[in-house]
């Protein structure tokens, strides 16, 4: 059973005072985890260049693709 927000008792939650906000830190929006099967040739291409950070370089490809194709619209 789900309660509507108006029926949720929040009286035991401390107020967020100025001290809380003074010490608060912004964090980057989380990126979703995606599992992706790639052809062996693609993985070999990226790992041959540098096996250390190949996943970061692979992850940079889709945003670049989207940016290039959005510019055409």
Query: Mean pLDDT per 10-residue run, the chain (73 residues)?
Result: 87 85 80 91 94 92 90 71
pLDDT of residue 45: 95
Q: Does the pTM of the predicted model rise above 0.85?
A: no
pLDDT of residue 41: 96
With CA atoms as reference, report the closest residue to 59 among 34, 40, 22. 34
pLDDT of residue 43: 95
pLDDT of residue 25: 82
pLDDT of residue 35: 92
b/e sequence 13-39, b meaning 16+ C-beta within 10 Å: eeeeeeeeeeeeeeeeeeeeeeeeeee
């Amino acid at each position: 059973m789900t309660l509507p927000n108006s029926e949720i008792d929040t009286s035991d939650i401390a107020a967020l005072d100025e001290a809380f906000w003074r010490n608060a830190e912004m964090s980057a929006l989380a990126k979703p985890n995606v599992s992706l099967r790639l052809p062996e040739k693609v993985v070999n291409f990226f790992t041959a260049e540098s096996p250390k950070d190949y996943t970061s370089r692979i992850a940079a490809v889709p945003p670049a693709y989207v940016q290039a194709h959005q510019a055409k619209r």
